[in-house]
Structure 1
Amino acid sequence: MSRTVDLALTATAPMIWGTSYLVTTNLLPDGYPLTVAALRALPAGLLLMLLTRSLPPVRWLGRLFVLGGLNFSVFWGALFIAAYRLPGGVAATLGAIQPLIVLYLSSLLLGTSLTARNLTAAVAGIGGVALLVLGPEAQLDWTGVLAALVGAVAMAMGSVLTRRWQPPVSALTFAGWQLTAGGVLLLPVALILEPALPPLTLANTAGFVWLGLVGAAFTYFVWFRGIARLGPTAITPLGFLSPLTAVVLGWLVLDQALSPLQILGALIVLSCVALGGSSGKPAQAPVTVKP
């Protein structure tokens, strides 16, 4: 399969993630962020494990809980805290620093080069996201700011370690293992800190199915597959497509207006995605460890 097809397939993941805000606010019960995160991760992971009929070896459990914790438990938990305490534009702009963190961690752990092309795409992408989503009413809550930064670091570290700790199994299997581990870590925290969910409506059920089956099982399969085939530095700029999708959906579905600055930000984001995605593969192959 060509590199262009790999990039296009991987790009579907952040585009689908961009629907999460619309689905969460319109279809899910309000006030259950950790429960929603657990129900998004654990059923999706168990479904993928059932489909692949593959259980992780005991000696791989430590790595899997680290990866599941970074990519899902910490990232999704921090993401929800930031979303509740910050305007969406501030949270998205802070999260957009993730490509810069990935570039540094990849050079440190994977031996990749810090190229001018990648650095330009990462820095300009932050500016594009800011123009796209950051409004004049944005206010800072330092707990929310810290949560957004922790989430960005967790996802960046998880992406790089997913490449470094690449087991000789399919991306579908690896995604199932990580989602299950992340869900197992989230579930007891959600049960302790949040009340029980109310009886679910048909709309609630549809929202959970979308976020779990499509927004977790499918997207993380193609995302981890992209990390394995192209490396984290090539696919991380695709993450800028998530806030772009959210803004476009707001315009199409919620009848929200687009300002000239937002249109400029969208063009910058698309340019940075193209620039970052055209970079070469990492110089060092993933460290494949037998399960």
Structure 2
Amino acid sequence: MRAEDSATTARTIAVEPVGTGARRPAPDTFPARPAARRGTLLALLGVVTFSLTFPSTVWGLESFGPWSLVALRSLLAAVIAGGFLLAGRVRVPAREHWAGLAVVAGGVVVGFPLLTTLALRTSTTAHAAVVVGLLPLTTAVLSSLRTGARPPRAFWAAAVAGAAVVIAFTLARGGGALSGGDLFLFGALLACAAGYTEGGRLAKVMPGWQVTGWALLLTVPLMSAGAAVALAYEPVRPTVHGIVGLVWVAAVSTFLGLYVWYRGMAEIGVPRASQLQLAQPLLTLFWSYFLLGERVAAAAPVAAVAVLVCIALTQRAGRTRS
């Protein structure tokens, strides 16, 4: 028995170092290669779908008013989400989770789509892409405040640099002053960051796509009333672009995109997946030129790359902290 105990102890020491503060690596820190490849592809697919949200919104505005587009977008996404939840026989969340779901609904389902849609009436998608390129950073700040985490100084230095780039870009494009569209975009950043922060907390107790699904269903009464009122006052001019834009932002951006995104995060972990999303602003600039024929200002790609570098530095600083 003593020999067997010694062998067992040796195996344990080989697997998990002994010492003060020694921790076993998280299960998703080093995924197997097939899982890593699958997760990376899923997360990249999510980033691509998100990068098309702004161009699709511009298309949707060809047929619908901003209030009608947001209401119909949420209702159609809620129908899809309800079908998935029903097919999966998913149980209704516990009472203590509904307050958090309300924050997700207000930030991700209502606030961000509405504010960005209003902004895109006067702002180009290229301009909006650069401003919203700060979304990962804004989420990190709110998440730090929510959880009490203390990132290192290098993180905040890069964060301030990224914010300075975005503010300088928006002021230069606006002739030295923020436009109404920029105010909508910055409001959208705060709303979406709050929704992502609370959604990330809830994703620890339920799958992320269920968080999105229940948040969508929570908005059905409000969006049903909003659609009835908006459609009565805003003219509807059906076009191919308008219908395609509505279907994309509802079925893909609002629900299915989040579904593959969260699946990818589950496979490769949140840190690796979040770094993939840093490519989103540049992809949106490409789509705005290719699909909408927008003239992209020379400063927009430069600002976008600068923002990506700053956010990448914050990710690196946070990852290297012991």
TM range (shorter): 0.7 to 0.9
Q: Distance in 2 between matches of 1:20 and 1:87?
A: 13
Q: Distance in 1 between matches of 2:171 and 2:264?
A: 29
Larger deviation, residues 221-230 vs 204-213 = 221-230
Q: Residue 48 of structure 2 corresponds to which residue in structure 1?
A: 15
Q: Deviation at 1:69?
A: 1.3
Determine which of 229, 247, 251 is the counterpart of 1:209.
247
SS at match of 1:268: helix
The 3 A distance-change label for structure 1 pair 44 and 8 is same
Q: Which of these two proteins has the greater Rg computed from alpha carbons?
A: 2
Q: Deviation at 1:74?
A: 1.7
Residue 178 (str. 1) matches residue 215 (str. 2): yes
Q: TM-score, normalised by structure 1?
A: 0.74
Q: Deviation at 1:105?
A: 2.2
Q: Distance in 2 between matches of 1:128 and 1:282?
A: 25
Residue 53 (str. 1) matches residue 89 (str. 2): yes
Question: Structure 1 regions of 5+ residues with no counterpart?
Answer: 284-291
Q: Distance in 1 between matches of 2:293 and 2:82?
A: 40
- Aligned-residue identity in percent: 23
The 3 A distance-change label for structure 1 pair 40 and 55 is farther
Q: Distance in 1 between matches of 2:143 and 2:49?
A: 25
Q: Residue 189 of structure 1 corresponds to which residue in structure 2?
A: 226
Q: Deviation at 1:97?
A: 4.4
SS at match of 2:188: helix
Q: Distance in 2 between matches of 1:113 and 1:227?
A: 23
Q: How does 1:68-147 map to 2 (within 5 A)?
A: 68-86=105-123, 91-126=128-163, 136=173, 140=177, 143-147=180-184
For residues 61-115 of structure 1, the C-alpha deviation after alignment (integer angstroms, 9 at most, x for no partner) is: 4432232112121222222222335555665555444444323322222232223
Q: Distance in 1 between matches of 2:220 and 2:175?
A: 32
Q: Distance in 2 between matches of 1:71 and 1:97?
A: 15
Q: Distance in 2 between matches of 1:236 and 1:136?
A: 28
CA contact (8 A) 1:92 1:129 kept: no
Q: How much is the aligned-residue C-alpha RMSD, in angstroms?
A: 3.9
Q: Residue 26 of structure 1 corresponds to which residue in structure 2?
A: 59
Q: Deviation at 1:192?
A: 2.3
For residues 183-242 of structure 1, the C-alpha deviation after alignment (integer angstroms, 9 at most, x for no partner) is: 5433323432443663744543333222222222122224455777855x8766765544
Q: Deviation at 1:117?
A: 4.4
Question: Structure 2 regions of 5+ residues with no counterpart?
Answer: 1-27
Q: TM-score, normalised by structure 2?
A: 0.68
Alignment-mate amino acid for residue 48 of structure 1: A
Determine which of 167, 174, 194 is the counterpart of 1:157.
194
Larger deviation, residues 166-175 vs 6-15 = 6-15
For residues 104-134 of structure 1, the C-alpha deviation after alignment (integer angstroms, 9 at most, x for no partner) is: 3222222322234433443444466678888
Determine which of 60, 63, 69 is the counterpart of 1:36.
69
Determine which of 269, 289, 294 is the counterpart of 1:251.
289
SS at match of 1:84: coil
Q: Residue 15 of structure 2 corresponds to which residue in structure 1?
A: none
Q: Distance in 1 between matches of 2:110 and 2:46?
A: 18
Q: Deviation at 1:155?
A: 1.0
